[in-house]
């Protein structure tokens, strides 16, 4: 069927079903945003209503020296307030970060056949999924992004199943990032009065999902969104963003952040990685650490790429506020549940800010 830009069904077929993605649509010579991509006004991010986060990045090399306490405090403070921070001297090779961004651009520029083999209905492996938008069949408007998602279940499986063009750099990225994630979690758990033992941290970060995301330039970015308002579901997310910008975090009243706007933009910092707190860390800490609501829009004339690693508990892990924290707080704000149940509950619905956490809340 030929693509008809005035027909929503034709666009859906071309973009979602055939797997051409938003990349294919933009490349077809789009001059204005089709209606299926126009977000309702309350889902758009008004750039005028956003401020830049001025916090300097946290230098993780100091964790090993006399500056340990100061750095640990910066990490804790960020997790308790905005739920987002940036790190430098993180141990992930800088050359690798450049290769990852380059590789992401190259992957999305591949011919359709190389990408469409990973569409959910036909993917040769449950570990790899290529697609567009977040949940096209459930969303009011489609998101202006394409992605490829990969589960990391071990080096051998990654080498066997992940796409040839990207697996080398991604494997190196997950190996080096996970060391950093474990250190950060150690600091955050210790601050809650929990002895950060390796086996606990291994279970809490046992599931690792990697993605490469592509947000092409948009003829009218004011009405579209790359990824809508959401919080991440796991423990900590590591995010490599490029120099384009467009990652926004919602400011909430109780964030201890001066509310001068609705959104904070997390500015690109060369060589830095963005870290954010996700839902399970909020639950374990009984609400002390915040999984922040965030969203992406690309207003740049160039395409944006990002490469996140979502660390999460193993599926069957029982999650509940840590006893050390409940003892201090005198009350649990979240019930106990199995992580896989939380995950399944989130993945069946379109994104809606922090509503995901309602599943776990008591009262």
Ligand X SMILES: O=C(O)CCC(=O)C(=O)O
Residues contributing to the site for Fe ion (CB under 5 A): 232
Minimum distance, C-beta of residue 239 to ligand X, in the bound complex (Å): 5
Residue with Cβ nearer Fe ion (80 or 232): 232
The smaller minimum CB distance to ligand X, of residues 191 and 291, is found at 291
Q: Is 232 in the site for ligand X (CB under 6 A)?
A: yes
Which residue do the tokens 């998602």 mark? Answer: 149
> Residue 278 is inside which H or E element, if any?
none
What are 154's two structure tokens? 């071990």
8 Å CB contact between 210 and 152? yes
**What minimum distance in Å lies between the beta carbon of 169 and Fe ion?**
21
**Rounded Cα distance, 194 and 178, in Å:** 20
Shortest Å, Cβ 223 to Fe ion: 21
Q: How far is CA 282 from CA 79, 232, 310, 338, in A?
A: 9, 11, 15, 15
Residue count of the chain, please give it: 363
> Residue 88, SS3?
strand
List the strands of the sheet with 50-52, edge to edge.
50-52, 263-265, 247-250, 294-296, 227-230
Size of the site for ligand X (CB under 6 A): 10
- Is there binding between residue 213 and ligand X (CB under 6 A)? yes
Residue among 103 and 356 whose Cβ is closer to Fe ion: 356
CB of residue 150 to Fe ion, shortest distance in Å: 16
From residue 76 to residue 115, the character string flagging contacts with ligand X as x (rule: CB under 6 A) and all else as - is ----------------------------------------
Q: Which is nearer to ligand X, 62 or 355 (CB)?
A: 355
Residue 60 touches which of ligand X, Fe ion, none (Cβ within 5-8 Å per kind): none
Q: What minimum distance in Å lies between the beta carbon of 68 and ligand X?
A: 29
Q: Closer to Fe ion at the Cβ: 11 or 296?
A: 296
CB of 293 to ligand X, least distance (A): 10
- Give 72 or 212: the residue with its C-beta nearer to ligand X: 212
Q: Which of 295, 250, 242, 249 is nearest to 269 (CA)?
A: 242
Which listed option, ligand X, Fe ion, none, makes contact with residue 239 (CB within 5 to 8 Å by class)?
A: ligand X
Q: Which of residues 236-265 bind ligand X (CB under 6 A)?
A: 239, 241, 247
Ranked by CB distance to ligand X, the top (closest) residue is 306
Q: How far is CA 117 from the centre of its chain?
A: 24
- Least gap, CB of 86 to Fe ion (angstroms): 15
Q: Indicate which single residue of 227, 280, 284, 343 sits in contact with ligand X (rule: CB under 6 A).
A: 227
Pairing state of beta strands 236-241 and 273-277? Answer: antiparallel
Side-chain-side CA neighbours of 150 within 13 Å: the count stands at: 28
Query: How far, in Å, are 41, 58, 79, 276, 347 from residue 85 at the CA level?
Result: 28, 8, 8, 6, 26
Binding-site ranges for ligand X (CB under 6 A): 213, 227, 232, 239, 241, 247, 294, 296, 306, 308
């Amino acid at each position: 069927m030929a693509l008809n830009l005035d027909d929503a069904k034709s666009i859906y077929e071309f973009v979602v079903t055939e797997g051409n993605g938003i990349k294919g649509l933009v490349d077809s010579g789009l001059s204005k945003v089709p209606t299926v991509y126009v977000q309702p006004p309350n889902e758009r991010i008004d750039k005028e209503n956003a401020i830049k986060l001025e916090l300097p990045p946290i230098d993780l090399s100091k964790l090993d020296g006399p500056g340990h306490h100061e750095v640990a405090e910066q990490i804790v403070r960020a997790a308790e307030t905005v739920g987002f921070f940036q790190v430098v001297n993180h141990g992930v090779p800088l050359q690798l970060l450049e290769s990852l961004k380059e590789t992401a651009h190259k992957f999305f520029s591949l011919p359709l056949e190389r990408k469409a083999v990973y569409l959910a209905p036909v993917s040769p492996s449950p570990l790899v999924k290529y697609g567009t938008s977040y949940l096209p069949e459930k969303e009011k408007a489609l998101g202006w992004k394409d992605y490829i998602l990969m589960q990391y279940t071990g080096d051998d499986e990654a080498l066997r199943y992940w796409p040839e063009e990207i697996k080398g750099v991604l494997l190196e990225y997950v190996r080096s990032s996970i060391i950093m994630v474990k250190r950060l979690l150690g600091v955050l758990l210790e601050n809650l009065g929990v002895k950060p033992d390796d086996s606990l941290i291994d279970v809490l970060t046992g599931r690792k999902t990697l993605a490469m995301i592509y947000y092409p330039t948009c003829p009218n970015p004011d009405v579209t969104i790359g990824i809508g308002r959401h919080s991440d579901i796991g423990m900590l997310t590591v995010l490599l963003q490029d120099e384009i910008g467009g990652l926004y975090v919602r400011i909430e009243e109780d964030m201890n952040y001066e509310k001068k706007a609705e959104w904070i933009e997390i500015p690109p910092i060369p060589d830095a990685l963005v870290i954010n707190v996700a839902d399970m860390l909020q639950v374990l800490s009984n609400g002390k650490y915040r999984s922040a609501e965030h969203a992406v829009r690309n207003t740049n004339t160039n395409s944006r790429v990002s490469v996140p690693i979502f660390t999460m508990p193993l599926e069957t892990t029982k999650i509940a506020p840590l006893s050390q924290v409940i003892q201090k707080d005198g009350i649990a704000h979240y019930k106990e549940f199995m992580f896989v149940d939380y995950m399944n509950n989130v993945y069946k619905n379109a994104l809606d800010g922090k509503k995901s956490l309602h599943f776990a809340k008591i009262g």
